[in-house]
Chain A
Amino acid sequence: MILRPAKKMLLNSGDDGTRFIMLVVVMMSVLSTLAVGGALTLAHLRSTWVDAVAGHITIEIPASDGQGLVRSPDTLHEKATAAYAALSSTPGVTRVDILDRRDVEKLVSPWLGEAVSTNDMPLPVLIGVTLSAPNDEALTQSIRSKVSAIDPPSIVETHQSWLADLRRFSLILLLAAGGMATITIACCIVAVAGAVAARLSEHQNDIDLLHVMGATDAYIGQEFVDSVVRSVGGAAVIGTVLGLIFIKIGAAVAGEIQNAMLPAMAWKMADNLWFLILPALVTLLCYFAARFTVLRSLGTMP
């Protein structure tokens, strides 16, 4: 049974120490809000990128035939036309684009320079294929066999390795953001436990008194835990709101800058739940930290 003190017994209103906890929790909540905002944006961008790339296949009809012999532009053109016809009639393919010699020249010219003539240079033909559904294995397979029937040396590129890199990279960033949020919450817990321990020793004489009057640990500790939960809860909400304001400002500024390296913060509507969960989680964890500290400290009395 937890007895609730009828009124304040030990702690003065406006007791010192609360302000320190509140400051730490506000700052840490701002940081974890930024971390969570960053993580949500990253997750959002990742799925946008993956969606954009996953439904695409690039087919390269190489300029040389496997044995090192350069093929004539006419041969390449003929192969490309055949492939175009075959792909266009394949169900599940929504779009086919051929990048022929001129298009490819345009693509490579920045690396080679305008002055270099590509006339004598063997250039491949690239065909971009857009699928109606991403990652359709059967469709990809049938495209592979069709293309290889038309031109065996052709390469069908599904961007899987690039996608795998993107997934790995964004997973690392997500883990880093999660780790940052975890560390800041851990800081809150450590600060709360430390501050509670300090307040307990500050009130040691009064606590001893209640103890010898026969008050239970829960009864004595309740007041400390209550006061911590109140200040931490308020501070966590303030910190989260501040963090969201910073994100808004940051997004507005990033939008202003041309070619901004930082993508504007953006996430799904439902993801806003995280910013309710965050302060609740901080408060809950700090409640347990305070309770544990209080009961462990009181438990050392006979």
Chain B
Amino acid sequence: MIQFEHVGLRYDVGPEILTDVTFTLEQGAFHFLSGPSGAGKTSLMKLLYLGHLPTRGVVSMFGQDVVTATREQRMMIRQRIGVVFQDFRLLPHLSAFDNVALPLRIMGKKPHEVRNAVTEILEWVGLAEHINAKPSILSGGQQQRIAIARAVIGKPRLLLADEPTGNLDDVIGYRIMSLFEQLNRMGTTIVIATHNQQMMDHFNHPRLTLDKGHLAVLPPSPKARLKEAF
């Protein structure tokens, strides 16, 4: 479903941030993306959500080469991807409701569909009573849950989350992870960038690891496999 072949990325004339990245994600896969800070996790995410086009190599999303795709085709690919940004990127002047509603409105959903879906998902992430709140008066954890709600509301085929549990305490962090696993069981492909070793030890998913722009595909952490076995 998603295929990277010898992909390279550089910003403007800078050095190559990603070098020779090759991997495949099948429909319904769940992967961690790990690596030290500055390794290029966010940059790889950008390639996955078509925020940037590769400088070289082939990126194929849902069977379509993103470089040769038309702008309209790229828009359609993007609509099938949900992203939780590392810095959330909520629109500050919009309420929680309107922030979460954005993807549905972009898809052209009817107002009553939008209202029902948004109300439901805000309840699900435990923010029902903050439906009209602006992001600025919410805590970091609450903002992050809005960002997550916004990423999943359009039922994306691919969900990308950049350090989604970074601002969450353990309990909520694990609850969010269970939410992602639930989505994954319903068929959504998931990639989660994290450097939280505990998380990777707890959930049994293969790891894409980045180091200085080079990618290696590793099996799930041995501890997680052990946990799963018993």
Q: Which residues of A contact B (CB under 8 A)?
A: 3, 5-7, 9-10, 12, 205-206, 208-217, 219, 302
Check if A213 sits within 8 Å of B89, measured CB to CB. Answer: no
Check if A213 sits within 8 Å of B79, measured CB to CB. Answer: yes
CA distance A219 to B74 in the complex (A): 15
Of all chain B residues, the one with the shortest Cβ separation from A208 is B51
Chain B min CB distance to A72 (Å) = 95
Contact A7-B102, Cβ < 8 Å, known A12-B93, A212-B83, A214-B78: no
Check if B102 sits within 8 Å of A9, measured CB to CB. Answer: yes
Q: Indicate if B138 sits at the interface (CB-CB under 8 A).
A: no
Contact A213-B93, Cβ < 8 Å, known A7-B98, A302-B50, A302-B53: no
Check if A213 sits within 8 Å of B108, measured CB to CB. Answer: no
Check if B111 sits within 8 Å of A213, measured CB to CB. Answer: no
Identify 12 new A-B residue pairs, CB closer than 8 A, beyond the known A211-B78, A215-B75, A302-B50.
A3-B106, A7-B98, A9-B94, A12-B93, A206-B91, A209-B89, A212-B50, A214-B77, A214-B103, A216-B72, A219-B106, A302-B51
Contact A205-B89, Cβ < 8 Å, known A214-B79, A215-B75: yes
Q: Indicate if B76 sits at the interface (CB-CB under 8 A).
A: yes
| Chain A hits for B53, CB < 8 A | 302
CA distance A302 to B47 in the complex (A): 11
15 contacts across the A-B interface (CB closer than 8 A): A6-B111, A9-B91, A9-B94, A9-B102, A205-B89, A211-B78, A212-B50, A212-B83, A213-B78, A213-B106, A214-B77, A215-B106, A217-B71, A219-B106, A302-B51
Of all chain B residues, the one with the shortest Cβ separation from A299 is B71
Q: Indicate if B105 sits at the interface (CB-CB under 8 A).
A: yes
We find that the number of chain B residues with CB closer than 8 angstroms to chain A is 29
Chain B min CB distance to A125 (Å) = 85
- Cβ proximity bits B99-136 to A, threshold 8 Å, 1 near / 0 not: 00011011110010010000000000000000000000
| Chain B hits for A209, CB < 8 A | 89, 91
Q: Indicate if B49 sits at the interface (CB-CB under 8 A).
A: yes
CA distance A208 to B106 in the complex (A): 14
| Chain B hits for A12, CB < 8 A | 93
Within 8 A of A (CB), among B60-100: 71-72, 74-81, 83, 89, 91, 93-94, 98
| Chain B hits for A5, CB < 8 A | 105
Chain B min CB distance to A227 (Å) = 14
| Chain A hits for B76, CB < 8 A | 214
| Chain A hits for B91, CB < 8 A | 9-10, 206, 209
Chain B min CB distance to A12 (Å) = 5
**A interface: dominant SS:** loop
CA distance A213 to B74 in the complex (A): 10
Check if B106 sits within 8 Å of A214, measured CB to CB. Answer: yes
Check if A214 sits within 8 Å of B105, measured CB to CB. Answer: no
Q: In the complex, which of the residues A5, A209, A210, A219 has the most CB atoms of chain B within 10 Å of its own CB atom?
A: A209
CA distance A9 to B51 in the complex (A): 20
Check if A3 sits within 8 Å of B108, measured CB to CB. Answer: yes
| Chain B hits for A212, CB < 8 A | 49-51, 78, 83
Check if A213 sits within 8 Å of B103, measured CB to CB. Answer: yes
Within 8 A of A (CB), among B154-189: none
Of all chain A residues, the one with the shortest Cβ separation from B110 is A6
| Chain B hits for A210, CB < 8 A | 102, 106
| Chain A hits for B56, CB < 8 A | none
- What 8 pairs between A and B have smallest CB-CB spacing? A214-B79, A214-B78, A215-B106, A302-B53, A214-B75, A212-B51, A12-B93, A209-B89
CA distance A109 to B72 in the complex (A): 86
Of all chain B residues, the one with the shortest Cβ separation from A13 is B93
| Chain A hits for B103, CB < 8 A | 213-214
CA distance A255 to B50 in the complex (A): 69
| Chain B hits for A302, CB < 8 A | 50-53, 74
CA distance A237 to B173 in the complex (A): 57
| Chain B hits for A219, CB < 8 A | 106
Chain A min CB distance to B76 (Å) = 7
CA distance A67 to B209 in the complex (A): 115
Please pick, from A6, A206, A208, A211, the residue contacting B105 in the complex, using a CB distance under 8 A: A6
Of all chain B residues, the one with the shortest Cβ separation from A209 is B89
| Chain B hits for A6, CB < 8 A | 105, 111, 114
| Chain A hits for B94, CB < 8 A | 9
Of all chain A residues, the one with the shortest Cβ separation from B151 is A213
Chain B min CB distance to A295 (Å) = 11
CA distance A61 to B74 in the complex (A): 89
CA distance A214 to B50 in the complex (A): 10
CA distance A17 to B77 in the complex (A): 34
Chain B min CB distance to A47 (Å) = 55
| Chain A hits for B80, CB < 8 A | 214
CA distance A125 to B108 in the complex (A): 88
Chain A min CB distance to B154 (Å) = 8
